[in-house]
Amino acid sequence: MKIIRFETQAGRILFGSDYDGKTASVIRGAPDTGFECTSERKKVEKLLSPVVPPAILCIGLNYRLHAKETGLALPKQPVVFMKSPNAIISYKDDIQIPIVCQQKPEVDYEAELGVIIGRAAKNVSEQDALHHVFGYVGANDISARRWQKHGGAGQWVRSKSFDTFCPTGPYILTADELDDPQDLSVESRLNGKIMQNSNTSDMIFPVATLIAYLSKSTTLMPGTLILTGTPEGVGFIRQPPVYLKAGDRLETRIEHLGVLENRITLEKKQAVETDTTA
């Protein structure tokens, strides 16, 4: 099933299926309990992110050719970091270049396969790991490279968690409709030009391995989003480097998961609030 999350004309937020570009069949449920179709059909006023994760766990350096292009050795265990859920945006939402990233170009793209946990997972084996997957979604791990290198004292979370830095969508494909997450094309296009073109078969640590590793003595709650790493072709490695700028159009294409489209804009400066209580 392809599942969208959307807003109606009346402002209600619903899940839906059978989206035809204008309307969708309303479905009810949750990732841990499953969804049931209803006979109700609603007009889709706006597509929202299909995921509202309690946590976003991310994997760095998980494609062999990406590791090669960075000049780094293949990791012996998954490189784990997190993004804050405030970074989530949806299909056609704008990716904003933060005010603090506007002095010099630094905002980069990273097309990724997103994995959504269904049933809570703790200490699961690789053999059972995929049974805990609710579905899959296209995502992009937008990253501020100077902040990644200099702004987090060696940690990446700050550089990855600016508002709008985690576009996802346009829909979730439930796990029962995807036979093998290790055989999916992964592509990003910037203004129509292909920048990344790979396959999940190049992953160093497959999805099942990642879930087993992340669940060691740690509960992965229903709805948790796992970003599984990006392939070669990112902007900061290129000569000359290619960074996102206002007016750009970014497309994230994961096989069977649709096309995630986002425009790049600048975050607008706001007036500084003045404390009038003193």
More confident residue, 258 or 35: 258
pLDDT digits (tens, 9 = 90+) for 114-159: 999 999 999 999 999 999 999 999 999 999 999 888 877 778 889 9
The 10s digit of each residue's pLDDT in 219-275 is 999 999 999 999 999 999 999 999 999 999 999 999 999 999 999 999 998 754 544
User: Is the model's pLDDT at 82 over the cut of 90?
Assistant: yes
Report which DSSP code applies to 203.
Answer: B
Task: Tell me the HSE value of 70 on the side-chain side, using a 13 A CA sphere.
Answer: 18
pLDDT in tens, 203-218: 999 999 999 999 999 9
In the prediction, which pLDDT does 18 show?
96
Across the range 33-57, mean pLDDT stands at 95
Residue 36 φ then ψ, to 5°? -120, 135
Mean pLDDT value across the chain: 94
- Region 92-99: mean pLDDT is 98
Q: How far is Cα 144 from Cα 268, in angstroms, rounded to an integer? A: 17
pLDDT above 90 covers what percent of the chain? Answer: 88
Question: Is the distance from CB of 161 to CB of 86 less than 8 angstroms?
Answer: yes
Query: How far is residue 88's CA from residue 40's CA, in Å, rounded to a whole number?
Result: 28
Query: By C-alpha distance, which of 176, 184, 178, 215 is closest to 112?
Result: 184
pLDDT score for 276 = 40
Q: Is the pLDDT of residue 33 over 90?
A: no
CATH 3.40.50.720 corresponds to the domain 56-266: no
Q: Is the pLDDT of residue 277 over 80?
A: no
Question: What is the structure's pLDDT at 278?
Answer: 38
Q: What is the pLDDT of residue 274?
A: 45
Find out whether 200 and 182 touch, Cβ atoms under 8 Å.
yes
Q: Which residues have a Cβ under 8 Å from the Cβ of 155 and sit 6 or more positions away?
A: 81
Q: How far apart are CA 221 and CA 217, in angstroms?
A: 13
Domain(s) labelled CATH 2.30.30 in the chain stretch across 2-48
pLDDT given for residue 7 in this prediction: 98
CATH number, domain 2-48, options 3.30.1310, 3.90.1690, 1.20.1530, 2.30.30: 2.30.30
DSSP lists the bridge partners of residue 30 as: 34
Q: What are the tokens at 254?
A: 């994961």
Q: 46-48 and 2-7 as β-strands: parallel, antiparallel, unpaired? A: antiparallel
Mean per-residue pLDDT for 83-94?
97
Residue 81 neighbours by CB distance under 10 Å: 19
Residue 68 phi/psi, 5-degree rounding, is: -65, -45
Residues spanned by CATH 3.90.850.10 within the chain? 56-266
Task: State the Cα–Cα distance between residues 120 and 128, nearest whole angstrom.
Answer: 12
- pLDDT higher than threshold 90 for residue 186: yes
Q: Which helix (H) or strand (E) holds 113?
A: strand 111-117
pLDDT value, residue 273: 52
Residue recorded with tokens 């994760």:
53
pTM over 0.75: yes
* Planar angle of CA 192, 190, 52, nearest 5 degrees: 115
